[in-house]
């Protein structure tokens, strides 16, 4: 059915009145009128036909208008407009008290040109009912538990989710007290938050727990007519969310333990190994022996590099980096990492195309890990006898771009998007793949971008774009 069309059932024992009113209402494109001369015929019509609104006279043989309303309301819940006689204010008052949607005096609408008043009232009550039905549909389809609660704690309405939560029906839940379905302490707390919402005239949010279940609640005041002294309680089960939060806290604690282990024990042992390798170096004369010493030193350097990456990775995910960003001197960080790379890799040649500008970027101290990993990556994945990296820096109004161009074998197009994923590495890679993942994670936290393209004529070019610090 077209949502703009309205089917009206007009009930009146006066054939003349029925004809006049139905003809005039039927002139509207969106209104269709069905007629009945008394209450019994109206009920028979409703049993066979769907209508949107009932308009009925009060004084009729058999069922009067109010009695008909009670039957229609109980069986169909349709909008109902009652027509009363001149001076029948008592009947009108009874009608409104019983729940009739609207009433009009017949004398008012029978006058010339006044039938539009009835048409307007019909459109209003039908539009209101349709809006209520849409709202009720939304409320009943939401997974959140929604109840309307009087200030004394009595549940006056509930959606399907609330009924399911308490293993009952909406009708059985309505009229009970919150303490009948919840632990007394929980019920008392929710009622108190609802009263606070009524006093403040705005929503109040809070969380509570009973048994093994956790809930996030919103108490919102209801400001509609006679229901103004009640509040709507919206409850969401967050038990699973709390479980995940506990798991995350446990993992964070475990990472902290690993971080302390990396910072202290493993690093100390690596430094001892390096010192011992340097100590025996002067006692090894033959070329084959020196090769093994060099391998030991290189492996220790690699382990030292990995522990640094692991430490920085834990720092990056274990702290709220987004709120601790500040202005970092790009030149100082980049100069330090180039010097470290030169010292760590004897065969590496790093050239800076032009002087690095003194500019502040929005980052933190872990920016050194981004540059350090890109430089180490250019060496460890380079099959050339003399690995080379060319570094250039460009500054625009809002951004700083740093490029690292190497003379390695390059990266296949099919892997360019995946190499920044955690654990990604080539089949011959001596690394873990976590270095580029860490670099990507940090640059994203800084609000920048990192990408890789083919170099000229060979190799790869890693580009890091960072926002300038305001």
Task: Tell me which H or E stretch contains 305.
Answer: helix 287-318
Helix (H, G, I), strand (E, B) or coil at 322: helix
Angle at 107 between CA 106 and CA 110, to 5 degrees: 85
**Where a domain ends, among 319, 350, 383?**
319
**Quick check: pTM over 0.85?**
no
Scanning the structure block, which residue is given the tokens 């919102």? 220
Q: In this structure, are residues 190 and 178 in contact, taking their beta carbons and an 8 Å threshold?
A: yes
- Residue 134 and residue 32 share a domain: yes
Whether 197 maps to a domain, the answer reads: yes
Q: Which of 135, 115, 140 is nearest to 20 (CA)?
A: 115
Whether 315 maps to a domain, the answer reads: yes
Q: Tell me the C-alpha distance between 7 and 54, whole Å.
A: 9
Whether 1 maps to a domain, the answer reads: no
pLDDT of residue 437: 83
Q: Tell me the C-alpha distance between 158 and 235, whole Å.
A: 11
- Residue 295 and residue 333 share a domain: no
- Residue 432 and residue 329 share a domain: yes
Q: Tell me the C-alpha distance between 206 and 409, whole Å.
A: 58
Length of the chain, in residues: 470
- Residue 38 and residue 123 share a domain: yes
pLDDT of residue 217: 95
Helix %, strand %, coil % of the chain (to 5): 50, 25, 30
pLDDT of residue 38: 93
Whether 221 maps to a domain, the answer reads: yes
Whether 165 maps to a domain, the answer reads: yes
pLDDT digits (tens, 9 = 90+) for 144-171: 999 999 999 999 989 989 999 889 998 8
CATH at residue 210: 3.30.450.20
- Residue 112 and residue 90 share a domain: yes
Q: Tell me the C-alpha distance between 222 and 205, whole Å.
A: 15
- Residue 297 and residue 186 share a domain: no
DSSP for 76-87 reads T---EEEEE-TT
**Where a domain ends, among 237, 255, 283?**
237
Q: Which phi and psi (to 5°) does residue 445 adopt?
A: -65, -30
- Residue 465 and residue 329 share a domain: yes
- Residue 345 and residue 421 share a domain: yes
Q: Tell me the C-alpha distance between 208 and 266, whole Å.
A: 44
CATH at residue 341: 3.30.565.10
pLDDT truncated to tens, each residue of the chain (470 aa)? 345 789 999 999 988 888 888 888 877 778 889 999 999 999 999 999 999 999 999 989 889 999 999 999 999 989 999 988 755 677 777 887 888 888 888 777 766 556 788 888 888 889 888 877 777 777 778 889 999 999 999 999 899 899 998 899 988 999 999 999 999 999 999 999 999 999 999 999 999 998 889 999 999 998 665 566 899 999 999 999 999 988 888 877 777 766 666 666 677 777 788 788 888 877 887 877 878 887 787 777 767 766 776 677 666 665 554 457 889 999 999 998 998 888 877 788 999 988 899 999 999 888 888 998 899 888 888 888 889 999 999 999 999 999 999 998 988 888 887 888 754 444 344 444 567 888 898 899 899 999 999 998 889 999 999 999 97
Helix (H, G, I), strand (E, B) or coil at 120: helix
Q: Tell me the C-alpha distance between 143 and 148, whole Å.
A: 16
Q: Residue 336: CA atoms inside 13 Å, Cβ hemisphere, count?
A: 11
Q: Which of 97, 103, 47 is nearest to 76 (CA)?
A: 47
Whether 463 maps to a domain, the answer reads: yes
- Residue 122 and residue 21 share a domain: yes
Scanning the structure block, which residue is given the tokens 């302390």? 260
Q: How many domains does the chain have?
A: 4
- Residue 384 and residue 272 share a domain: no
- Residue 150 and residue 103 share a domain: no
**What burial letters (b/e) apply to 181-219, b meaning 16+ CB within 10 Å?**
bbeeebbebbbebbbebbeeeeebeeebeeeeebbbbbb
DSSP 8-state secondary structure symbol assigned to residue 382: -
Helix (H, G, I), strand (E, B) or coil at 413: helix
Residue partners of 140: CB distance under 8 A and separation at least 6: 159, 160, 161
How many angstroms separate the first and last alpha carbons of the chain? Answer: 59
pLDDT of residue 335: 92
pLDDT of residue 431: 43
Cis peptide preceding 203, ω within 30 of 0: no
Whether 466 maps to a domain, the answer reads: yes
**What burial letters (b/e) apply to 62-75, b meaning 16+ CB within 10 Å?**
ebbbbebbeebbee
Residue partners of 302: CB distance under 8 A and separation at least 6: 380, 430
**Where a domain ends, among 237, 263, 291?**
237
- Residue 448 and residue 332 share a domain: yes
Q: Tell me the C-alpha distance between 383 and 424, whole Å.
A: 19
Q: Which of 409, 431, 430 is nearest to 422 (CA)?
A: 431
> Which residue range(s) make up the domain with 34?
6-138
pLDDT of residue 2: 47
Helices (H), 99-238: 106-110, 115-141, 160-165, 170-173, 178-181, 184-200
Whether 121 maps to a domain, the answer reads: yes
């Amino acid at each position: 059915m077209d949502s703009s069309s309205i089917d009206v059932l007009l009930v009146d024992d006066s054939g003349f009145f029925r004809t006049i009113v139905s003809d005039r209402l039927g002139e509207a494109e969106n209104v269709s009128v069905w007629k009945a001369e008394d209450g019994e015929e109206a009920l028979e019509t409703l049993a066979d036909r769907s209508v949107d609104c009932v308009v009925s006279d009060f004084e009729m043989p058999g069922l009067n208008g109010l009695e008909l309303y009670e039957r229609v309301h109980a069986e169909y819940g349709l909008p109902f407009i009652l027509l009363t006689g001149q001076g029948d204010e008592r009947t009108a008052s009874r009608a409104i008290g019983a729940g009739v949607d609207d009433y009009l005096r017949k004398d008012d609408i029978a006058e010339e040109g006044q039938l539009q008043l009835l048409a307007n009232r019909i459109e209003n009550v039908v539009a209101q009912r349709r809006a209520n039905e849409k709202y009720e549909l939304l409320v009943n389809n939401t997974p959140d538990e929604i109840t309307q609660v009087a200030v004394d704690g009595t549940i006056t309405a509930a959606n399907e989710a609330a009924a399911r939560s308490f293993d009952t029906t909406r009708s059985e839940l309505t009229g009970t007290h919150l303490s009948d379905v919840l632990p007394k302490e929980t019920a008392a707390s929710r009622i108190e938050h609802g009263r606070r919402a009524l006093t403040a005239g705005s929503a109040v949010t809070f969380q509570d727990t009973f048994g093994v279940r956790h809930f996030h609640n919103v108490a919102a005041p209801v400001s509609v007519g006679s229901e103004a002294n009640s509040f709507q309680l919206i409850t969401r089960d967050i038990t699973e969310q709390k479980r995940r939060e506990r798991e995350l806290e446990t993992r964070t604690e475990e990472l902290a333990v690993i971080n302390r282990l990396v910072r202290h024990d493993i690093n100390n042992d690596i430094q001892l190994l390096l010192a011992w390798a340097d100590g025996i170096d002067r006692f090894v004369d033959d070329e084959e022996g020196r090769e093994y010493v060099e391998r030991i030193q290189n492996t220790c350097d690699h382990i030292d590099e990995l522990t640094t990456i692991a430490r920085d990775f834990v720092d990056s995910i274990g702290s709220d980096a987004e709120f601790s960003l500040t202005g970092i001197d790009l030149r100082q960080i980049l100069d330090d990492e180039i010097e470290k790379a030169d010292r760590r890799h004897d065969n590496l040649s790093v050239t800076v195309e032009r002087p690095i500008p003194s500019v502040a970027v929005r980052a933190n101290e872990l920016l050194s890990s981004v540059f350090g990993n890109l430089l180490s990556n250019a060496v460890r994945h380079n099959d050339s006898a003399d690995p080379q990296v060319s570094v250039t820096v460009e500054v625009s109004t809002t951004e700083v771009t740093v490029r690292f161009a190497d003379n390695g074998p390059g990266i296949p197009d099919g892997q360019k998007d995946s190499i920044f994923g955690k654990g990604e590495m080539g089949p011959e890679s001596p690394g873990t793949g976590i270095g580029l993942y860490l670099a990507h994670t940090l640059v994203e936290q800084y609000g920048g971008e990192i990408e890789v393209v083919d170099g000229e004529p060979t190799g790869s070019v890693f580009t890091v774009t960072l926002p300038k610090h305001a």
